[in-house]
Amino acid sequence: MKHSQILAIALLMVVLVSCNNTTGPTDPLKIPDVYASTSWQTNAAVELQQLSDVGELVDALEAGRAQGVVIDRAAVAAELAKLAPFLSAASFSEVSNYINLAIESSGNMYDAMQAHTMSTKGGVYGRYLFNKNGLDATELVEKYLFGSLMYMQATTALNATTISPNNVDKALACFGATPEFKNTDKALTNHDRFCAAYAARRDKADGQGMYTQLKKKFITALTAAKAGANYNDDYYSAIADIRQLWERSQMASCIHYCYATISGLSATNISDSSRSSAMHAFGEAAGFVVGWKSVPATMRIISDADLNEVLGLLQMPVGGVSNCQNVWQLPVTVLPQIEFATKKLQTVYGFSDAEMLDFRQNWVNVQGRQ
């Protein structure tokens, strides 16, 4: 073989080897400090409308918090119909049941300390509307939708077959934040809503909180989606972190409201106003957990067994009879179970003792963040 032929073959082999070594990035992904999307509102128009529809649904239910006011069933049904296409059949059935209980309770008065029977009716007590089980009707519906609608919609977008910056925008909207990531629901513009608002309340704005970490992961996911297929690993790592941080922030808020329930019902002499506020807090705590029951086990951290145990401790056994009235009617017996629920969640999510202490606070209010 001539020397020139040998040289040509060698050069061809070098080219072929070089072509086969283009599967990975040549440089690490450079993560900016800001969420750089100029068209996120257009990309997430459907998801932003969903948030508005949830807000309208909640407003319609909150009308029943006024004494003697019966919730407008037609108005509620119209708002729920807008959300129906985005809910699983099981989730739609469950949230419809919660809504019906709220409507049936409106216009009545609720006696929190009355012995609970099959004929017990819900109604207004203090500043809130409670269903026949004594659960804050509005909070239960709203928090249920955090998991069954908002988280599920975001996860569907992020796990789409085709990686796209548009899908990250959709998930951001579902979370309730904006590209500004204000870390407060008190801002005059671009304030956080729903899931993001509660994540902000659990974040001390010290650079370590879950809201702050979620911001970084959303920015990473968007940047990787824009950068192309060589950075798919960065994208998938970021969205896995988003899912876990989202869930952890929700359960941190469940813990917060469990603490508020225990504190509010531990006094020797409790006024109707204080008891009503504590029951309202309990409804929020219960709503956060119930909402995650609709999320498939493969898409959440907490197992079915642990989730069922927590619901049992909250007097809401899966497949059983709710005994939530025991929380305020038998506080000496039941409040320790509520506290044990917080310990269970601490174990499942690996929260430190310092984090558990921080969860007692609404840091947006404590720090006056605007």
Q: Could you write out the DSSP letters of every residue in 180-222?
A: T--S-S--SSS---HHHHHHHHT--SSS-SHHHHHHHHHHHHH
Q: How far apart (Å, rounded) are the C-alpha atoms in residues 304 and 325? A: 24
Alpha-carbon 113 to chain mean position:
31
Amino acid (1-letter code) at residue 134: G
Cβ atoms of 126 and 276 within 8 Å: the answer is yes
CA dist 281 and 275 (Å) reads 10
Q: Which residue has the tokens 């204000």?
A: 182
Bin 296: left if φ > 0, else alpha if -120 < ψ < 50, else beta.
beta
User: Which residues, 6+ apart, have CB-to-CB distance to 15 below 8 Å?
Assistant: none
Integer Cα distance of 126 and 148 in angstroms: 29
pLDDT score at 26: 67
**Is 292 in contact with 147 (CB distance < 8 Å)?**
yes
Structure confidence at residue 267 (pLDDT): 87
Helix segments in the chain, DSSP class H = 3-19, 40-43, 45-62, 73-83, 89-105, 137-145, 152-158, 165-175, 194-201, 210-227, 232-265, 272-293, 304-313, 325-329, 331-349, 353-358, 363-366
CB 211 within 8 A of CB 202: yes
Rounded to whole angstroms, the Cα distance separating 151 from 171 reads 8
The alpha carbon of 281 is separated from its chain's Cα centroid by a whole number of angstroms, namely 16
Q: Distance between CA atoms of 324 and 115, rounded to whole angstroms?
A: 12
For 26, 96, 207, 267, 334, the CA distances from 102, given in Å and listed in that order, are 58, 10, 40, 29, 25
Run means of pLDDT, 10 residues per run, the chain, 370 residues: 44 41 69 96 98 97 97 97 97 95 96 88 96 91 97 97 97 98 97 98 97 98 97 98 98 98 94 96 95 95 97 91 92 97 98 98 98
Q: What is the pLDDT of residue 320?
A: 79
Note the pLDDT of residue 119. 80
What's the rounded Cα separation, in Å, for the pair 142 and 57?
9
- For residue 24, the model assigns a pLDDT of 54
**DSSP letters along 76-107, please?**
HHHHHHHHGGGS-HHHHHHHHHHHHHHHHHTT
